[in-house]
Amino acid sequence: MQSGRKTTTPSADAQPQGSSDAVRSRILRGAARVFGERGYGATSVETILEAAQVSRRTFYRTFRSKEDVLRTLFDRSVQRLVRAVREAADPDKGRHELVVAAVEAYLRVHANAGPLARVLLLEQFSPDSPLAAQRNRALSTFSNLIVSAAVGAGEKPPDPVLVAAVVAGINQVCVQMATQYPSGDWDIERAKRAILRILSALEEAA
């Protein structure tokens, strides 16, 4: 006999359809949506369950916590950024064209991430951020990309302190763009000009 009672999430024994990878992707998509809508702090595990339509048991078989989901989304975002920059690094382009293409690719990934980009960018700098370790690894990765590009162009490796300052400056431009969402918009051209100006510090040093 059916009770007619409606639930917003599956029961604890409910099992989602598909492979574990499909379930993981479903949870990440649901979390990305609610993080973008509500922010990380205001999002509960229960909210993620509702968005992903999975049970609590399934969630905890896939992720350890809400923080674990956030870290995974951040890592995926960094991987997309690095991949976009590397794909833009066409060796047949001149140095300036290569730099411009890499910056455009970097900004395009941020812009396409929508509200989630704002959450990830701002959350990584919050006090006691769960993303602190990954943020530091990401900054190191982008520093290494800049050094590799300089060496590949036959230049002397730039000062590591200057590289760190340039990477921090580029990241801050993206944070500034993110804080304007959604009342403003992602002004790609304005951000590109700012980042290219920051990168010019490396050329002047060289």
Phi and psi of 7, rounded to 5°? -125, 150
Spatial separation of the C-alpha atoms in residues 53 and 123, rounded to whole Å:
25
Q: On the CB side of 55, how many CA atoms lie within 13 Å of its CA?
A: 11
Query: CB count, 10 Å around CB of 11?
Result: 10
27-69 pLDDT, tens per residue? 999 999 999 999 999 999 999 999 999 999 999 999 999 999 9
pTM metric for this prediction: 0.82
181-198 pLDDT, tens per residue? 556 566 788 888 999 999
Is it the case that residue 18 has pLDDT exceeding 60? Answer: no
Tell me which CATH code domain 67-205 carries: 1.10.357.10
Spatial separation of the C-alpha atoms in residues 204 and 141, rounded to whole Å:
23
20-63 CATH pick, 1.10.10, 1.10.3470, 2.30.29, 2.60.40: 1.10.10
pLDDT at 17: 47
Spatial separation of the C-alpha atoms in residues 109 and 78, rounded to whole Å:
10
Percentage with pLDDT > 90 across the chain: 45
Spatial separation of the C-alpha atoms in residues 16 and 6, rounded to whole Å:
18
For residue 206, name the pLDDT band (cuts at 50, 70, 90). low
pLDDT at 9: 45
96-134 pLDDT, tens per residue? 787 888 888 888 888 788 889 889 988 988 888 899 999
Rg (CA), the chain: 20
Is it the case that residue 82 has pLDDT exceeding 50? Answer: yes
Is it the case that residue 14 has pLDDT exceeding 60? Answer: no
The residue ranges of every structural domain in the chain are 20-63, 67-205
- Per the CB < 8 A criterion, the answer to whether 194 and 107 are in contact is no
Quick check: do 20-63 and 67-205 share a fold? no
Query: CB count, 10 Å around CB of 77?
Result: 20
For the chain, the average pLDDT equals: 84
pLDDT at 183: 60
